[in-house]
Structure 1
Amino acid sequence: MQDTPPSVPDFTQWPSFPFEGDLRVKQLDDPVPVEPPRRGEGNRECTACSAPDEAYIWVGERWRVRAMDRPTGLPMVLILESRSHLDLGDLPNLLAAELGVMTVRLERAIRSLDGVARVHVSRWGDGSAHLHIWFLARPYGRLQLRGTFLSLWDSILPPITEAQWRENLALVAAWLAEFGGRPLAEPPRIQWQAPSSLSAPPEVEAEIVDEETVSVIEAAEEIPEPPDDPTTGQRPA
């Protein structure tokens, strides 16, 4: 093991690398003799298995799709999970074939959103033993976000608005539901407000009433009085 860390690699000079300035490589820790269990391994609870369908944006018979709990910097970040507690290498042939179909279907759904150029599909699996595939949307025209570091940029960029985030979730869920399953994400509620032209402030309404009153009085004054009745010499009642 080297006593001093190696020099920084060439990718730190790539335009897509999110950081600049002086960098230093961390000292590599010694390997552990036994790796700790992931979530869903050994006696550790599986959060995916215990999560209800309501925690997802779309659910099917054998697959579910969930989002982050709040907007992030990218237009969309979603996770595809199997319902069964299986890891990637444990999938039977049926689920392995369906994984390919679901991957393509979800990629197309995300890519259909406005402002999305590419969808990065990733699987790490170091945190959970339950299969989960990440889908990260790269914004259109943001060439600096291309490639390996997109997941880092997601935490650096300012979050998109919650309204846009919820609308994107609802669109993806509806897109998937065209092929089956049940969409659970709903678009944001419309913040409806009556136009100001439909009602006037109290002082304006008072002026309108006064003007109407004056107009009625003036109109009454302009009405000519009826002539005298020639037979009686009196005005009609």
Structure 2
Amino acid sequence: MLDSVRVSLVHDTPPALPDFTQWPSFPFEGEIRLKQLDDPVPVEPPRKGEAHRECTACNAPDDAYIWVGERWRVRAMDRPTGLPMVLILESRSHLDLGDLPNLLAAELGVMTVRLERAIRSLDGVARVHVNRWGDGSAHLHMWFLARPYGRLQLRGTFLSLWDSILPPISEAQWRENLALVAAWLAEFGGRPLAEPSRIQWQAPSSLADQSDAAQRSAEEEAVSVIEAEEEIPLPADGKAADAHDVGQAADEATTGRSASGSDAGSYDAAGSGTDVSAADLRSETASGSPRTDAAASGDARTGDSRASDGR
């Protein structure tokens, strides 16, 4: 007679957590479980600005931004968040990163460096992280996140998560920072639209009460980077995810690429009235700070005198 065999069920071993959960910059601790990975979908839903979905950036007026130029605009979040500064650089044209014609592609590099320098010039800012995701919106938008000076735990990959965890900065400081960045950009052209908050001349006791109330309101209503509308993709089972919409999106994408290709010649041929011109590039010093008109005119006079002397 055969001995009975005991069979014990072995549960699936949960996958090991990645090493970054042990990094000092990882914002969570304690027991963490991995989510189950969903099966891939055969057809991805359209982003905002694709197929029949409206584009938020194209419909936004200039007064929703802190600085506007001929082909670029810069905007902030609706209210302060945990980081000293969070800004978004957008193209005016409805183009994604890979659709930019040559001139706009070159301007994107200059605008990225210029905006990074402007944010890094603010008090209390150590570094500026530049990110582009684009899963929620088809309109090009680049994120600029300022890391507070001395906050070494915020270094690296998880800065956008910390933005929604840290308490919001004061609205007065936030508005002042926006105005400083807008003024910096306006030194090279465009129009600044951000203004610092006005001083409220009231008794000290009432100021303290209002400050506490404003802080509570900001903490309740602040929308961080990872919660922004531009970065929330449509669910996989969304109504828009059907073959007709995807086919329409593909047709529009092809048409858009053809249009951007034809625009490239006109952009390159124009060469004037741009947000980033050759004169702008020459007027920026190695440190990135704007040069004054007086200095530029002085250089011109020096050049004229040298020419007259035959040098």
Instruction: Give the TM-score normalised by structure 1.
Output: 0.80
From 131, 136, 139, the equivalent of 1:130 is 139
What CA distance in whole angstroms lies between the structure 2 residues aligned with 1:55 and 1:122? 21
Q: 1:194 to 1:4 in 2, by over 3 A?
A: closer
What CA distance in whole angstroms lies between the structure 1 residues aligned with 2:203 and 2:16? 63
From 148, 152, 157, the equivalent of 1:148 is 157
Stretches (4+) displaced over 6 A: none
Match of 1:35 in 2: 44
Computed over aligned residues only, the root mean square deviation of the Cα atoms, in angstroms, reads 1.3
From 73, 76, 79, the equivalent of 2:85 is 76
The Cα of 1:4 is off from its aligned counterpart by 5.9
Residue 121 of structure 1 aligns to a residue whose secondary structure is strand
The Cα of 1:190 is off from its aligned counterpart by 1.4
From 85, 93, 96, the equivalent of 2:105 is 96
Q: 1:5 to 1:31 in 2, by over 3 A?
A: farther
What CA distance in whole angstroms lies between the structure 2 residues aligned with 1:52 and 1:193? 34
Q: What letter corresponds to residue 96 of structure 1 in structure 2?
A: A
The Cα of 1:6 is off from its aligned counterpart by 1.5
8 Å Cα contact 1:173-1:183 kept in structure 2? yes
Q: Percent identity?
A: 93
Q: What letter corresponds to residue 160 of structure 1 in structure 2?
A: I
Match of 2:198 in 1: 189
User: What are structure 2's unaligned runs of at least 5 residues?
Assistant: 1-11, 205-311
Residue 188 of structure 1 aligns to a residue whose secondary structure is coil
The Cα of 1:37 is off from its aligned counterpart by 0.1
8 Å Cα contact 1:7-1:24 kept in structure 2? no
The Cα of 1:191 is off from its aligned counterpart by 1.7
The Cα of 1:193 is off from its aligned counterpart by 4.9
Q: What letter corresponds to residue 19 of structure 2 in structure 1?
A: D
8 Å Cα contact 1:125-1:131 kept in structure 2? yes
The Cα of 1:192 is off from its aligned counterpart by 2.8
What CA distance in whole angstroms lies between the structure 2 residues aligned with 1:89 and 1:192? 51
Q: What letter corresponds to residue 99 of structure 2 in structure 1?
A: D
Residue 181 of structure 2 aligns to a residue whose secondary structure is helix
Match of 1:11 in 2: 20
**Which residues of 2 match residues 26-65 of structure 1 at below 5 A?**
26-65=35-74
Residue 154 of structure 1 aligns to a residue whose secondary structure is helix
User: What are structure 1's unaligned runs of at least 5 residues?
Assistant: 196-237
What CA distance in whole angstroms lies between the structure 2 residues aligned with 1:8 and 1:58? 43
What CA distance in whole angstroms lies between the structure 2 residues aligned with 1:159 and 1:188? 16
- Comparing 137-146 with 183-192, greater Cα deviation is found at 183-192
Q: What letter corresponds to residue 55 of structure 1 in structure 2?
A: A
What CA distance in whole angstroms lies between the structure 2 residues aligned with 1:107 and 1:15? 25
The Cα of 1:39 is off from its aligned counterpart by 0.1
The Cα of 1:194 is off from its aligned counterpart by 8.9
> 1 or 2 for the larger relative contact order (CA 8 Å, sep ≥6)?
2
The Cα of 1:15 is off from its aligned counterpart by 0.2
Residue 128 of structure 2 aligns to a residue whose secondary structure is strand
Match of 1:171 in 2: 180
**Bigger fraction of residues in helix:** 2
Residue 160 of structure 2 aligns to a residue whose secondary structure is helix
The Cα of 1:166 is off from its aligned counterpart by 0.3
What CA distance in whole angstroms lies between the structure 1 residues aligned with 2:189 and 2:86? 21
Residue 48 of structure 1 aligns to a residue whose secondary structure is helix
Deviation readout 1:130-166 (Å, 9 max, x if unpaired) = 0000000000000000000000000000000000000
> Size of the alignment, in residue pairs?
193
From 144, 148, 151, the equivalent of 1:139 is 148
